[in-house]
Amino acid sequence: MAIRSVKGMNDILPEEVGRWHLLESEFRSLAELYGFREIRTPILENTELFVRSIGDATEVVEKQMFTLERDRESFSMRPEGTAGAARAYVQHGVNAREPVSRWYYLGPMFRAERPQRGRYRQFYQAGLEVYGDAGPAGDAELIDLVVTLYKRLGISDVEVLLNSIGGPETRARYRQVLLEYLEPRSSELSEHARVRLNDNPLRILDSKDPRDKATVAGVPSVLDHLTPEDREHWDGLRRALDALGVEYKVTPGLVRGLDYYTRTLFEVTSNAGELGAQNTLGAGGRYDNMIAELGGPKVPAIGFAFGLDRILLAMGERELARAGTCFVAPMGEPALLRGLALGRELRAGGIRTEVDSRGGSLKSMLRRADSMAARICFVLGESELERGVVQMKDLAAHTQTEVPLDQAVTRAAEVLASKPEGSTT
Ligand code: HAM
């Protein structure tokens, strides 16, 4: 019998890889715009790293790691990127060189899950980690970055679920509150949850078992049990998000499957495209104690990881190709000279742009704009030039607006951040 790939580990064929390049480059350019720099860490780490950071009473460490022994040492394939990045941060004494570090990474992660649509054993994450900023304004800015990427990709209907689980003191308090609520009801819980009651009661809030779901429906909210400092952080985060105009849904039942989190937790969900049941497009949160627990200095941190496989499921092919791209079609030499400058301005504004400098007909230029699936085409002729304006065509929405040349970059950015009218995503 022919040998097939491992279940849940998929090939990405040449005809599919273009979509991945576009998504990855959209992520890179936005992350760099916000001052993030790339870190590349090994796929294999000492198993101990994941046990210490993610926690041994988590599904990921307990059941999902691909672990191998070699010369009596235990190694595991990384199930996520935060632990490896934090290890590198500590190992290279980065905090001594810079007070704040913003890192991003892209790459495959490995978890031995039961494969289904949107859930694989080898999947891809694009992650962001910020070290040295205790927030909460920094938390809000990271969430804003995250939401901006989904918008740029044309994924509508994203919902940001937000919670705070506080620091160790809040957790200890809330653990007590949870136990007082759940212990008298333990006979209604699943077997698995009854074990968690002893080692990790917070995780019961995240259980998919219908018995547990019914039982935790009435639990007191963690937000009512935050210490004054944690409360201040939470309130500050909400003020900063409101000031930025970022929408979110306070979700006190949100807990995460990894044990390293403190205070801010967030997840982005969507029902777009072909996502189905695995509708969490990405998730993250603050982890102020991990760096110290890994033997480093006391440095606060927060991060987020986009699930790239799921983003691709969420978006229509055309929308992905259109994301973030501008085309400039100048008619005649004076317009071309201004058009080249416009191209430069757009790129300086972080917008990927191609200027058609071939001097062909408008029709041939529009055909080219369409074939590269640009979202916006700027048409600049003699009469526009005289009046200091340019025609801005939204090729997804099929609209055309005349805009002043000196506002072209801002207007283009607005269009790129908006959902294309009539789009299916
Ligand atoms: P996570 O929630 O385990 O968090 O994963 C983040 C995202 O990766 C998920 O929301 C999902 O989109 C994607 N993902 C996870 N598992 C799979 C899978 N088996 N198949 C396909 N996609 C998957 C973390 O990994 C944290 N490191 C996030 C973070 C960064 N927290 C702080 N910094």
Place of tokens 């790239």: 308
Atom of ligand 1 nearest to the CA of 119: 20
Place of tokens 């908006």: 418
pLDDT score of 423: 44
User: Above 80 in pLDDT, residue 283?
Assistant: yes
pLDDT in tens, 52-109: 999 988 889 999 999 999 999 999 999 999 999 999 999 999 999 999 999 999 999 9
Which sign does the torsion angle of CA 96, 27, 367, 419 carry? negative
pLDDT in tens, 190-224: 998 988 888 888 888 888 889 998 898 889 999 99
Residues lining ligand 1, Cβ inside 6 A: 80-82, 111, 113, 118-120, 123, 125, 127, 129, 257-258, 280-285, 303-305, 307, 309-310
pLDDT score of 14: 87
Query: Which residue is closest in CA terms to ligand 1's atom 11?
Result: 307
Distance (angstroms) between ligand 1 centre and the Cα of 306 equals: 7
Q: What is the DSSP string of 19-45?
A: HHHHHHHHHHHHHHHTT-EE----SEE
Q: Where are the alpha helices (DSSP H) in 130-204?
A: 137-152, 168-182, 191-199
In this structure, are strands 159-164 and 249-250 parallel, antiparallel, or unpaired?
A: parallel
Under the banding of pLDDT at 50, 70 and 90, the label for residue 151 is: confident
Q: E strands of 99-165, at which residues?
A: 101-110, 122-131, 159-164
